[in-house]
Structures are given as C-alpha cells and as structure tokens.
Amino acid sequence: MAGVLSGLKRLYLTIYNWTVFVGWLQVFFLAVKTLKESGHQHVYDAVEKPLLLAQSAAILEIIHGLVGLVRSPVSATLPQIGSRLYVAWGILWSFPEVRTHVLVSSLVISWSITEIIRYSFFGTKEAFGSAPSWLLWLRYSTFLLLYPTGITSEVGLIYNALPFIKESAKYSVLMPNKWNFSFDYYYAAFVVLGSPHMYTYMLGQRKKALSKSKKE
C-alpha cells in the first residue's frame, strides 16, 4: 500500500511539475517574441493569461508543503510565492498603468527562466529518481543572477505603481465604516518590497546540493 501511495505521489508531482513547466515555457517564448517584434510595451498583454495561470499554480506548492508531499519548508516557499502573486495580481493585473514599463520584460524573463529550470529539474527528479548534474547546477546557480534581476524588477514595478495605488485607493478600507477598521493598500505595498531571505536560503541550498553532488 505504501508503495502504491508513493508511486501515485511521484506521478502527481511529475505531472504537476511538467505541466507548469510548459506554462512558463509559453510565457518565455511569448515574452521574447513580443519583445523582438513589438517592443517591451506589449510584453504584458502577450503573456498575461499564461503568466497569471502559471504563477497562480504555485499556490499548490504551499499545499504540497503543508500536507507533506514535498520536503520544502513552507516558511521558505510562502514568502516567495506570496510576493510573486502580489506583483502578478496585486500590481500588474490591478494597475494597468505600469504594464508597459520596461521592468515588466526583465521581470517576466527572469521569472520564466528560473521556473523553466526549476520545474524541469523537479519534474525530471520525480519521473526518474534523479536529475543530470548539469540541470542540478543550473537549478542551484542561475538564481545568483536571476534572483537579483527578478527582485529588482518586482521592487521597481511596485515603486512605479505607488502613485496609482494612492490615487485610486483601490483595495483600501477607509474610515469611518461599520467595522471600525481601516486598511491602506498604499502602505501595505511597502511591506511586500523585497527581502534577502529567499536569496540567503537558496545560497544555503546551493552549497548543500552541489557538495552532495560532488560526493556522489
């Protein structure tokens, strides 16, 4: 029975990882194609649907961690997934004024390359029990460049959205109201601005994974 459940878990995680891989591959292809043919102003419109779908699928990774399907700590995945969902839905989808900014292109390309590598790595590992050394190296090395470019793009887009957030008061709850409660989406945006937590976590994971690979 345990073997059957283990097999089903691996099958599910294999399908999940490769399905989301295809989604991010589509995002990358459309972003590069649009950037080349039409310019950065049109990148968001080209990638919106697959981007929101692929990024929203990451919510399942939090559930995977909570129920024990994967070993990744929720404390590590939640901040990254939460901040990305905030940028995808709470900034780009909610405030069209920032969609034509050049940072959208650097954001989408940084995210998509990172996720293409990550999902192919875990998809291969679940399907075959291990991943080739070159893919392992890419998984734990490319973030050294892609995390800074991604987080810089996130912070830049949030900063550029601040005037529109303040002017529109969208998602804010103003006083007075029957709940006697207030929430200012403008100030909440400052809380979401980048943290080095995920970068330092990945540095530790890189050292651990690559040293293990050398021993093997």
Report which of 142, 152, 135 is spatially closest to residue 114, judged by C-alpha positions: 142
Tell me the C-alpha to C-alpha distance, in Å, between residue 53 and each of 5, 49, 50, 88, 98: 28, 6, 5, 10, 20
Q: Is the pLDDT of residue 99 over 80?
A: yes
Region 11-16 average pLDDT = 97
pLDDT recorded at residue 190: 85
Q: How many domains does the chain have?
A: 1
Residue 61, judged by CB atoms within 10 A of its CB (0-12, 13-18, 19+), counts as buried
Q: Is the pLDDT of residue 175 over 90?
A: no
Q: Is the pLDDT of residue 198 over 70?
A: no
Find the domain containing 180 and state its range. Answer: 1-214
For the record, the structure tokens of 43 come out as 């990148």
Q: Is the pLDDT of residue 116 over 90?
A: yes
Region 63-84 average pLDDT = 89
pLDDT recorded at residue 77: 86
3-state secondary structure of 135: helix
- The DSSP 8-state label assigned to residue 90 in this structure reads I
Q: Is the pLDDT of residue 199 over 60?
A: no
Active site residues: 147, 154
Tell me the C-alpha to C-alpha distance, in Å, between residue 84 and each of 59, 92, 175, 197: 11, 11, 29, 14
Where is pLDDT greater, at 191 or 133?
133
pLDDT recorded at residue 191: 80
pLDDT recorded at residue 143: 87
Q: Residue 207 belongs to what H/E stretch? A: helix 197-215
